[in-house]
Amino acid sequence: MPEVAMLMAAGLGKRMRPLTATRPKPLVEVGGKALLDHALDRVRAAGVKRVVVNVHYLADALEAHLRRRAGDLDIVISDERDELLETGGGLAHARPLLGDAPFFVINTDNLWIDGPIDALRLLGQRWDDAAMDALLLVVPLARANCHRGRGDFHMDSAGHITRRRPGRVAPFVYTGVQLVSPRLLVDPPAGPFSTNIFWDRAIAAGRAYGVVHQGLWFDVGTPQAIPAAEAMLADG
């Protein structure tokens, strides 16, 4: 099992306004707990020892919150105050902090409930370092709670993923949780860019895979999604 995780927490939270007018999106609460704490609790339960968190918008508030969690985990800040680097640029910027072994990457605007197998442990069990540069946790579009998209990926019987074709629907949605090799981050562009650049390289090389989440997943990127997710959680 990987012992390092990166939590993506630097975004402006525009879709979550007005809740993010005075707090960063990772500190918005769902079910009485900040999204950031949901993620931290999951990685700690999976045996992660070191967590890298990138910060930009209202960074001081995030750092203050993280200091209160310092007893649980070795938490390291990847500071993007000078420039918001997007997901791929944030990973490239944090590369010196992430070590040389595969590590988890988790977006903090999603919430998942584990099924029979812990989602992070499932990723760790399925990881094949000889074959993979990226292993994405996906969920069937029909089970993507609070999500309004048309799917992200197709997946073959071996687990290789390919992109949704324009104008079509794809059967799987990316959950915002992945396990990646440092090999994925080689030769990054300068400045802000999306993780899609890294994924497209891995897909072209046949080294991008998916694994299906066995539990529940909620896209909580908007204020309207929060009560819907909370209602479903309350119903068990």
Residue among 1, 39, 3, 210 at smallest CA distance from 121: 1
Region 95-110: mean pLDDT is 95
Helices H / strands E in the chain, number of each: 6, 13
**pLDDT for 236 beyond 70:** no
Is residue 76 within 8 Å of 51, Cβ to Cβ? Answer: yes
Chain segment 130-147, per-residue pLDDT in tens:
999 999 999 999 999 988
Parent domain of 117:
4-234
The CATH number of the domain where 66 resides is what?
A: 3.90.550.10
Q: What is residue 121's predicted lDDT score, i.e. its pLDDT?
A: 96
What is the per-residue pLDDT for 27? 95
Q: How many domains does the chain have?
A: 1
Q: Is the pLDDT of residue 9 over 70?
A: yes
Q: Look at 89-93, 112-116, 128-132 and tell me which has the smallest mean pLDDT.
A: 112-116
pTM: 0.94
pLDDT digits over 56-70, tens only?
Answer: 999 999 999 999 887
For 165-168, which contacts have Cβ atoms below 8 Å and span 24 or more sequence positions? Answer: none
